[in-house]
A and B are shown apart, each in its own frame.
Chain A
Amino acid sequence: EVQLVESGGGLVQPGGSLRLSCAASGFSFNTYWMHWVRQDPGKGLVWVSRIKGDGSGILYADSVKGRFTISRDNAKNILYLQMNSLRAEDTAVYYCIRDPDYGGKSYFENWGQGTLVTVSS
């Protein structure tokens, strides 16, 4: 069974940093694209970043470019999101997602339970 378990969320002051982790199990982690998607409280879904199975193919949403860094440790089956220079508008639930990219088509097949990041003074 595929499992994605996020951790690392919490309350942080504007300008601060957090590192989110996503522990993956039940599949060959190093063969899958992985993404982070966030959901503003009571609002919609926003794609944040993606990374290929071998650690290449990294891309970011413009709103986080230069501040967030996605990475993965395939030996430990963990996906990371390092978030620096946090702003109030980064407040959201952050989801870790597995993407099979089947037939060249990307889709968000499996989601973690999410971890809440609150940026506030």
Chain B
Amino acid sequence: DIQMTQSPSSLSASIGDRVTVTCRASQSISNYLNWYQQKPGQAPKFLIYAASTLQTGVPSRFTGSGSGTDFTLSISSLQPEDSAIYYCQQSYKIPYTFGQGTKLEI
């Protein structure tokens, strides 16, 4: 199975800051990398697919990048509603696997 490792596991930031979450795959996955946001008591919400393509309706302050084994999710100009857990997920090979999550507190 492809292992996905996120860092950091948690971070704290302030409104207006820019933060970056890193996701590393245990083998090359090209750009088969997706990002999700989960708030307490809710199902995950889809943010980005193919490493960098933003889902319709997701604010442009969210950006994704990377290819191969190393990927990043950046959030600029943090807003209070960005407090959540962020997960990366590879769709290169079954079984699809997720990172362990990064908890962002604002």
Contact = CB atoms under 8 A, between A and B. Distances in A.
A114 B38 CA distance: 13
Given A44-B100, A44-B101, A45-B89, A110 B46 contact: yes
Nearest to A63: B95
Contacts of A50: 94
Contact of B98 (A45, A59, A107, A109): A45
Interface residues of A, number: 22
B62 interface: no
Contacts of A113: 43
B76 to A, nearest CB: 23
A107 B87 contact: no
A71 B49 CA distance: 26
A111 B49 contact: no
A62 interface: yes
B43 A103 contact: no
A47 interface: yes
Contact of A95 (B43, B55, B100): B43
Contacts of A105: 31-32, 49-50, 91
B34 interface: yes
Nearest to A59: B94
Contact of B49 (A35, A46, A62, A102): A102
B97 interface: yes
B81 to A, nearest CB: 18
Nearest to A108: B46
Q: Which 4 pairs of residues, A with B, have the shortest CB-CB distance?
A: A107-B49, A106-B91, A111-B43, A47-B96
Interface of A: 35, 44-47, 50, 59, 61-62, 95, 102-103, 105-114
5 contacts: A44-B87, A95-B43, A107-B91, A108-B89, A111-B46
Interface of B: 31-32, 34, 36, 43-46, 49-50, 55, 87, 89, 91, 94-101
